[in-house]
Chain A
Amino acid sequence: MPDLAKIHDIVKVYEKTPTPLIYILKDVQKEFGALTEPVLSEVARITQMPLSEIYGVATFYSLFTTQPKGKHVVRCCNNAPCHVRNSKEVLQKIKEYLQLEIGGTTADGLFTLEFTSCLGLCAVAPVMMVDNEVYGNLTPEKAVAILKDYKLKGSSNA
């Protein structure tokens, strides 16, 4: 069970911020990994905002998540410029390597696979993000090599 008391401290930080919800949710997600039901219910209780409204914001922004994700989030661009530069095959290879569909998380909890909209890096399309790192000029092989590196690092940490 997460320590919900921390939410109180987070809300307090933004006491004087005019529309603090997004900042609160960002910090709360960082603390708890995901905006789950007990976590958001506590945010609602403390901020005295309706849970439905908070949940609406949490599900609107793709960088918020209501479900726990893997250690690394892999986001593949699915917009047109990447598409014409073969992003489809890159994605296919990633799916095969991770044994995942979009939205899924690997059994070892290491990777979650998602789509992202345009990252503004069309000059180096196709692109993907892993956590906060951006990787461009991908080929299917290059993409898998990058993920292998993460996997190695992940298991050496463990």
Chain B
Amino acid sequence: MNKVTLTIDGRSVTVPEGTTVLDAAERINITIPRLCHHPDLNPVSACRICVVEVKGDRLLRTACSWKVQEGMEVSTNSKVVRDSRKMAMELLLSRHPMRCTECVRNGSCELRACADQLGIREISFEYHQRQGGLDTSSPSIVRDPSKCILCRRCVQTCAMVQSVSALGMEGRGYEVWVDTPFAQGMADVPCVACGQCIDRCPVAALYENSHIDRVWRALDDPNLHVVVQTAPAVRVAVGEEFGLPAGALVTDKLVAGLRRLGFDKVFDTDFTADLTIMEEGHELLSRIKNGGKLPMLTSCSPGWINFIEHFFPTLLPHVSSCKSPQQMFGALAKTYYAEKHGIDPKALYVVSVMPCTAKKWESGRPEMTSSGFQDVDAVLTTRELATMMKQVGIDLPNLPEEEYDAPLGISTGAAVIFGATGGVMEAALRTVYEVVTKKPLENVDITAVRGLEGVREAEVDLDGVKVRAAVANGLANARKLMDKIVAGEADYHFIEIMACPGGCIGGGGQPIPTSAEIRKKRAEAIYKADRGLKIRKSHENPAIQQLYKEYLGEPNSHRAHELLHTHYTAK
């Protein structure tokens, strides 16, 4: 690739052709202030904060989108640049309500940080509220247009990353705004509730529908037995909320923290992830043997389920009938666990901690009541859990290490890898191999399905039986595979789909920010957790074996179907 040499603030720098001024400046340790720019998305140059002066140009240029040229002379700190940035920021702030102390993004607001970086101490303009009211129609995502700074990240995320386009830009000029078409509300557009927009929103124009209050109420109620389950991806991310580096694996401290919050039992969604593998693995084998619909599609990711129900309803027969691990857990907690320990399921309250906002939606689906009650009562995102811990001064990084409670807290390495894209596939193959071949799998690391690329394909040889697998993460990538199935070009047996980039580790409920680099570190921690566990195959989980023996009979049994399987609805 051709190299280009330019000077930035008088210092020479050589970068590949096509580099933006913003990235070139970073090479020589100049961090140009920016607000709408996001590494996952295309530059839209909406905020005008990153402007720089280019010698010979009449206009200031936006560094996020302006490409370097040979001999270019850039100034990032001249008076005109500083004044212009300040003006742009003051104008943005003049339409932002600035009720920072009562804001969910108080500690992670990019607007606030950027204003501080620019040294804003007063705002020359009067506050003028943006149009659009609070949208609380979705069980997962709240939209507060009054806080929106029109950076367009949510619109791009929804269109580009997820190919959903629930949100759009509307109107123009001073009165432009972000909304659902015809102000239908998030519940009535094809929003899949993945929360990727929340993750990229620089302010609190988008945030999760909080369950914190209801969880505190349950914990405060002496008549309730409150149990909690933690999704695989939470343990590799929650540390970030407490200042630990991305990818810090804090499983045992997380357990200790949850006990200190007052949960009666601390269980693990990994237990039901193992169970999912048993049910889904056998479902796959039965589909292959009995000529069922193939390729079979995974069903763990509720954002993905919403997506296929909205956009590819004709493909629903391909989706595994297995509930997600969260919902399997809820159904079992209020039946198997309650019966075993003599707890009235009416007095049993099930809380999930999830890296996900769509899980909130999923827990309220009318099908998810197979215990006779709502199977999962409340769903906290990783962020909400951190907020609760901070509220009561739980210092997660310095907690002792404690273990999950039995039996719903016992799990394997196959379960923890559910947290990363390709993990369900790998876990399933570990079990399917041994069930099919009746031989031990020598190398459990099926690296062919790992990685963070959007779509991956692999053929795995199960002792002569070849399983053709595909894995997609991010719904725009899922759409590519679905288009292939529709066109009759998908010659796979099994496809794993995760709605969020990177899988659950990059979920819409995870700590903000999440970037490609952070996703990579969290994924590494997931595989580290897998390696650190003695048992790494779901079917070897003794608590799962006991559950089948005592309660379910065998995989895909009648009772298993009643409690652990579900159906889908075209939307």
Binding site for B on A (CB under 8 A): 37, 40, 50-56, 59-60, 66
Across the interface, do A53 and B182 meet the contact criterion of CB distance under 8 Å?
Answer: no
Choose the segment among B7-15, B122-130, B163-171, B561-569 that binds chain A (4+ C-beta atoms closer than 8 Å).
B163-171
Contacts of A59 in B (CB 8 A): 170-172
Contacts of A60 in B (CB 8 A): 170-172
Please give me the residue from chain A that is nearest to B171 by CB atom.
Answer: A59
Across the interface, do B171 and A52 meet the contact criterion of CB distance under 8 Å?
Answer: no
Chain A nearest CB: distance from B415 CB in Å?
37
Across the interface, do B182 and A37 meet the contact criterion of CB distance under 8 Å?
Answer: yes
Q: In this assembly, does B189 line the interface, its C-beta being within 8 Å of a C-beta of chain A?
A: yes
Q: Which of B240-278 contact A (CB under 8 A)?
A: none
Q: In this assembly, does B159 line the interface, its C-beta being within 8 Å of a C-beta of chain A?
A: yes
Q: In this assembly, does B372 line the interface, its C-beta being within 8 Å of a C-beta of chain A?
A: no
Across the interface, do A51 and B171 meet the contact criterion of CB distance under 8 Å?
Answer: no
Please give me the residue from chain B that is nearest to A44 by CB atom.
Answer: B181
Number of A-B contacts (CB under 8 A): 39
Across the interface, do A52 and B180 meet the contact criterion of CB distance under 8 Å?
Answer: yes
Q: For the complex, would chain A's binding face be called helix, strand, loop or mixed by DSSP majority?
A: helix
| Listed A/B pairs (11) with beta-carbon separation below 8 Å | A37-B182, A50-B164, A52-B155, A52-B166, A52-B167, A52-B168, A53-B165, A55-B182, A59-B171, A60-B170, A60-B171
Contacts of A56 in B (CB 8 A): 168-170
Please give me the residue from chain B that is nearest to A37 by CB atom.
Answer: B182
Contacts of B189 in A (CB 8 A): 51-52
Q: Which of B155-191 contact A (CB under 8 A)?
A: 155, 158-159, 164-172, 180-182, 184, 189
Please give me the residue from chain B that is nearest to A56 by CB atom.
Answer: B168
For the complex, what is the distance from the CA of A54 to the CA of B182, rounded to whole Å?
11
Chain B nearest CB: distance from A45 CB in Å?
12
Query: Which among B155, B171, B181 has the greatest number of chain A C-beta atoms within 10 A?
Result: B181
Contacts of A53 in B (CB 8 A): 159, 165, 168
Interface size on B, residues (CB 8 A): 17
Contact among A37, A40, A55 with B170 in the assembled complex (CB-CB below 8 Å): A55
For the complex, what is the distance from the CA of A54 to the CA of B181, rounded to whole Å?
9
Chain A nearest CB: distance from B483 CB in Å?
12
Please give me the residue from chain A that is nearest to B165 by CB atom.
Answer: A50
Contacts of B158 in A (CB 8 A): 52
Please give me the residue from chain A that is nearest to B166 by CB atom.
Answer: A52
Chain B nearest CB: distance from A144 CB in Å?
29
Query: Which among A37, A52, A59 has the greatest number of chain B C-beta atoms within 10 A?
Result: A52
Please give me the residue from chain B that is nearest to A55 by CB atom.
Answer: B181
Across the interface, do A66 and B168 meet the contact criterion of CB distance under 8 Å?
Answer: no
Chain B nearest CB: distance from A25 CB in Å?
13
Please give me the residue from chain B that is nearest to A35 by CB atom.
Answer: B182
Across the interface, do B181 and A40 meet the contact criterion of CB distance under 8 Å?
Answer: yes
Given A37-B182, A40-B181: A52 touches B172 (CB 8 Å cut-off): no
Chain A nearest CB: distance from B307 CB in Å?
13
Chain B nearest CB: distance from A43 CB in Å?
11
Across the interface, do A50 and B159 meet the contact criterion of CB distance under 8 Å?
Answer: yes
For the complex, what is the distance from the CA of A155 to the CA of B184, rounded to whole Å?
37
Across the interface, do B172 and A55 meet the contact criterion of CB distance under 8 Å?
Answer: no
Contacts of B166 in A (CB 8 A): 52
Chain A nearest CB: distance from B114 CB in Å?
26
Chain B nearest CB: distance from A14 CB in Å?
21
Across the interface, do A66 and B182 meet the contact criterion of CB distance under 8 Å?
Answer: yes
Query: Which among B169, B171, B180 has the greatest number of chain A C-beta atoms within 10 A?
Result: B169
Q: Beyond A50-B159, A55-B181: 7 further Cβ-contacts under 8 Å?
A: A50-B165, A53-B159, A55-B168, A55-B170, A55-B182, A59-B171, A60-B172
What 1/0 mask marks residues of chain B from 186 to 220 whose CB sits below 8 Å from any chain A CB?
Answer: 00010000000000000000000000000000000
For the complex, what is the distance from the CA of A60 to the CA of B177, rounded to whole Å?
11
Chain A nearest CB: distance from B238 CB in Å?
33
